[in-house]
Structure 1
Amino acid sequence: MSMPATITIETHQNEFLPAEGRTVDAVLTVTGSGVAGGGAAPTSRTDTAEIILIDASGSMSGSKLVAAKEAAAAAIEALPDGVAFGIVSGDTGARLDYPSGNELAVSSPRTRRAAQNALRSVRAGGGTAIGVWLTLARTLFARRGAAINHAILLTDGANGEAEKTFNDALAPCVGQFVCDSRGVGTGWVARDLIKIAEQLHGTASGIPDPRDLTADFVAMTSAAMSKNLAGVALRVWTPTGARVQFVKQVHPEITDLTDRRTDVSARIGEYPIGTWGAETREYHLRVDVEPNPVGEEMLAARVSVVHGEDVLAQSLVRAVWTDDMASSTRLNRQVAHYSNETELAEAIQAGLSARAAGDVEQATARLGTAVRLASEAGREDTAKMLAKVVDVIDERTGTVRLRSVAASIDVEMAAVGSRKTRQVRRESSD
């Protein structure tokens, strides 16, 4: 398998702590340069597998299913030769519509045409069991044994499985393949899409207009084909007495990795960060350390990007104790930015959860906080999204009134949109 020309990691932090200070924050910028020898997707990929999972439940009949077939056909056309691929349609069951049999096909002009023809026979009917679809995808990927596995999952409604059934199906998929989840139309549920994206290192989004599916499917396929290194992790070493409080991906989407730690030793833990190509992601690390006297310096963490036992890049997180208040209170731009972005996302998600539970007071308070934070951060996109769920009385103070009636699609779009963040501009970096 081809390897990235380079992966780099850079630490952004204010290393100065006040006397008795314990908490060390750092934002880690990880950048992959893409395929060795150039950033373009290769013309042949024998180490990659792609599965497209199409909701074929009864509610998909009509324009949504037509658009889904067109999008799947376009995604298949975008596959390089040599990629293993398949098309699965699902309702309460799951079927491999192409190829016939129980193994994936290999992409070529002939198989791509055959797959596009097979899409014509997909019909809508029945309910929705997303866990069943994911289980079939996992089985097919395992049979192929490719190094890099990617799935696109499209649904237009709520998952009909019991939560435990769905969770039991999703858990074995973790680490086996990446899955981008999409909702089409107005009946999908953000909770399902977000859970898939967070567990399977993918993205989650809503596509209200089915006509927009094709461009999105091609973009997801192209992005997947640009990946060339799977099973990457952040390895975090901390000194005796220190404790990792959290590790979160904060860009391009927020995902909490803290509970996914695998202990290498008492002082070293690894956090999976998925499959990589030419891209940049950022992570917020918070470590609690034992205080040292003023003037002392210590290594608070050593963070490595690893692939198996290969160390691809490494960066250091420092702690220096000082009695200079100006130094210890200075905010690092990246840390401050992503702390605010995470707080905004948490406020939106908490507010929407309270709204769904019928807790008007809590929903109003949390969504009001979100409106205020969006205003302070200049997040006009988020402000417009929130204005569809609440009536904004004063954005500066976060005074809002919960709308008694809000379109369900606006609520779900707000939920998936809350995970997406803006990167700190280069010229603002310390």
Structure 2
Amino acid sequence: MSVSRPNFAVDIFQNEYLAVGAREVNAIVTVTASGAGTGAVPAQRAGQHPAGHEPGDGSAVVIMIDCSGSMDYPATKLQNARKATAAAIDTLRDGVAFAVVAGTHEAREIYPATGRLAVSSADTREQAKQALRKLSAAGGTAIGTWLTLTDQLFRSRPEAVLRHAILLTDGKNEHETPAELEQALARVSGRFTADCRGVGTNWNVPELKKIAGALLGTADIVAEPDGLAEDFRSMMTGAMNKSVADVALRVWTPANAVVKYVKQVAPEVADLTARRTEAGPRAGDYPTGAWGDESRDYHVCVEVPSAAVGNEMLAARISLVLPLPDGTTEVLSQGLVRAVWTDDLASSTRISPQVAHYTGQAELASSIQEGLEAHRAGDLDRATAKLGAAVRIAHATGNDGTFKLLQKVVDVLDPKEGTVRFRNNVSAADSMTLETRSTKTVRVKK
């Protein structure tokens, strides 16, 4: 299989004109990766492997399955988890290093149970599916231990460039403290990405989204266990289509300018501001994870020194960078953010359609989260107001997916005005689905 990497392009959308005294510059950065093809081999270190290891293709996957006692209630949860894991294993291409981990209040390898990853082939895939019979439900839940073992397994394949995990749980992380989970996330963050799924309705949405966010992955609900197999197959297909890892968005700003925030805003909202690592004078890197053929949007907000009418400055230089084995970085693409001061009111008050759209999408996500939190706290007035605002924004921006999820929680009386009332007997699954998917956005209409 030939080495292939996507071509990256950066497009900047902004209104560069600022009123006298204005200091805040906003831009939407669209990053598009294309031309990788399907199942391409990662380019950075493919073909290198330690002595005694079978050579892989540069990709590695670990599947973590919750095997706590609650997975037996009902028994179909664990049965479907086995089927889903088998479906994911069948999706692996030859040469991918992989393992399966059973998670309870501790973590243990189910396959290959050698302390390192196996290499995918027809034989090892069949062996792994046979080993799934060892999955049984007993014990508690300590997700930090699962993540720690997964990281150890990935470390057994230092040549693996693309490192991706799937995590399935049906409950809350009750057998370790929040601090212990935080410590585990801090240790493994940046080591691998992870897509997280909650099955049923007894798990904690903010907790799972926090884990997925720290590991630059997705979080979602699978309310009915029989939906797991298709979801696992889809996640693994997505992982197999990635062809370059550890790409960062580098933001350089001039003297006396400050980056206020960097957020991914499509395909879903994720705040990257606190993930910054310094990258030389006045530059910082924000992680974006692994890429295949896809496009994502980022909102970059920079505060610059104010200037007189007619002055122009480079407010930020945005680069896509890739770390290389020799410790240097390669610039994949680049774009510029400008600031021009004007006394023309029409120019300075015009809002970039892209900035306006994604500011609304971020407000939509926060309105849903705050509304559901208020509802749990018994504050029905605030909950109604917040979800009403969410309905209004979803309707105005064409976010039909979120609008339909909102309709399962509230009766929409006037979508344009955001007039709603809570429905009676809202199911836990509908409420959790809305909360889990609240950060999904729609792309701005070009």
Bucket of the pairwise TM-score, normalised by the shorter protein: over 0.9
Given candidates 139, 154, 161, the residue that maps to 2:152 is 139
Q: How does 1:59-138 map to 2 (within 5 A)?
A: 59-61=70-72, 62-138=75-151
CA distance in 2, matches of 1:113, 1:423: 41
* 2:318 paired with 1:303: yes
Runs of 5+ consecutive residues of structure 2 not aligned to the other structure: 42-54, 324-328
Aligned residues of 1:25 and 1:284 also touching (Cα < 8 A): yes
Of the three residues 354, 361, 364, the one matched with 1:341 is 361
Q: Which of residues 331, 350, 353 is equivalent to 2:351?
A: 331
Deviation at 1:265, TM superposition (A): 3.6
Quick one: distance in 2 between partners of 1:121 and 1:288? Answer: 56
Which residue of 1 is the match for residue 249 of structure 2? 234
AA partner of residue 16 (structure 1): Y
1:4-403 correspondence runs (5 A): 4-35=5-36, 39-42=37-40, 46-61=57-72, 62-145=75-158, 146-160=160-174, 161-308=176-323, 309-403=329-423
Do the aligned residues in 1 keep the contact of 2:6 with 2:292 (CA within 8 Å)?
Answer: no
**2:68–2:141: 8 Å Cα contact kept in structure 1?**
yes
Q: How far apart in 2 are the matches of 1:351 and 1:5?
A: 40
CA contact (8 A) 2:258 2:303 kept: yes
Say which SS state the counterpart of residue 227 (structure 1) adopts.
coil
Q: CA shift at 1:11, angstroms?
A: 0.5
Q: CA deviation at 1:404?
A: 6.5
Shift of 1:233: 0.8
Q: Secondary structure at the match of 1:144?
A: coil
Deviations 1:82-105 (A, max 9, x none): 111011111111111001221111
CA distance in 1, matches of 2:4, 2:245: 10
Consecutive aligned runs of 4 or more in structure 1 exceeding 6 Å deviation: none
Counterpart contact for 1:57–1:91, Cα < 8 Å: yes
CA distance in 1, matches of 2:256, 2:193: 35
CA displacement at 1:34 relative to structure 2? 4.7
Within 2, Cα distance between the matches of 1:389 and 1:5? 41
SS at match of 1:46: coil
How far does residue 252 in structure 1 lie from its aligned partner after superposition? 1.0
In structure 1, the residue corresponding to 2:155 is in which secondary structure? helix
- In structure 1, distance between residues paired with 2:399 and 2:320: 31
CA distance in structure 1 between the partners assigned to 2:411 and 2:244 by the alignment: 46
Native 8 Å contact 1:34 1:227 kept in 2:
no
Q: Does the 8 Å contact 2:40/2:242 carry over to 1?
A: no
Identity %: 50
Offset of residue 17 of structure 1: 1.3
**Residues in 2 aligned to 1:45 and 1:105: alpha-carbon distance in whole angstroms:** 9
- The alpha carbon displacement at 1:60 in A equals 1.5
SS of 2:392 mapped into structure 1: helix
Match of 1:195, SS?
A: helix
Which string of whole-angstrom CA distances, capped at 9 and with x for unpartnered residues, describes residues 230-274 of structure 1? 221111111112111100001112110001111224511111111
- Contact kept? 1:248, 1:284, Cα under 8 Å: yes
* Distance in 1 between residues matched to 2:40 and 2:305, nearest whole Å: 49
Distance (whole Å) between structure 2 residues aligned to residue 166 and residue 370 of structure 1: 32
Partner of 2:49: none
Q: How many residues align?
A: 423
Give 3-state SS (helix, strand or coil) of 1:246's partner: strand
Contact kept in structure 1, 2:261 and 2:302, CA below 8 Å: yes
Letter of the structure 1 residue corresponding to residue 248 of structure 2: A
SS in 2 for 1:369: helix
| Matches of 1:104 and 1:381, distance apart in 2 | 38
Q: Residue 411 in 1 paired to residue 412 in 2? A: no
Name the CA shift for 1:378/1:6 in 2 (closer, same or farther; >3 Å). closer
Tell me the distance in 1 between the aligned counterparts of 2:69 and 2:90: 27
- TM-score, with length taken from structure 2: 0.90
| More displaced stretch, 343-352 vs 2-11 | 2-11
Q: Secondary structure at the match of 1:216?
A: helix
Residue 418 of structure 1 and its aligned partner are, at CA, apart by: 0.7
Whole-Å separation in 2 of the counterparts to 1:84 and 1:395: 49
Tell me the C-alpha RMSD between the 2 structures: 1.8
Q: Which amino acid aligns with 1:19?
A: V
Q: 1:58 offset after TM fit, Å?
A: 1.8
8 Å CA contact 2:370–2:383 kept in 1: the answer is yes
Check conservation: 1:352, 1:363, Cα contact below 8 A: yes
SS in structure 1 of the partner of residue 156 of structure 2: helix
Contact 2:399 2:441 (C-alpha < 8 Å) held by counterparts: no
Q: Which runs of 5+ in 1 are unaligned?
A: none
Checking the alignment, whether the CA contact within 8 Å between 1:304 and 1:313 is kept in structure 2 is: yes
Read off the aligned partner of 1:409 and give its amino acid letter: A
Measured in 2, the distance between the counterparts of 1:363 and 1:45 equals: 51
1: CA distance, partners of 2:384 / 2:291: 39
User: Given that residues 151 and 177 in structure 1 are in contact (C-alpha distance below 8 angstroms), is that contact kept between their aligned partners in structure 2?
Assistant: yes
**Matched residues in 2 for 1:206 and 1:90: separation?**
18
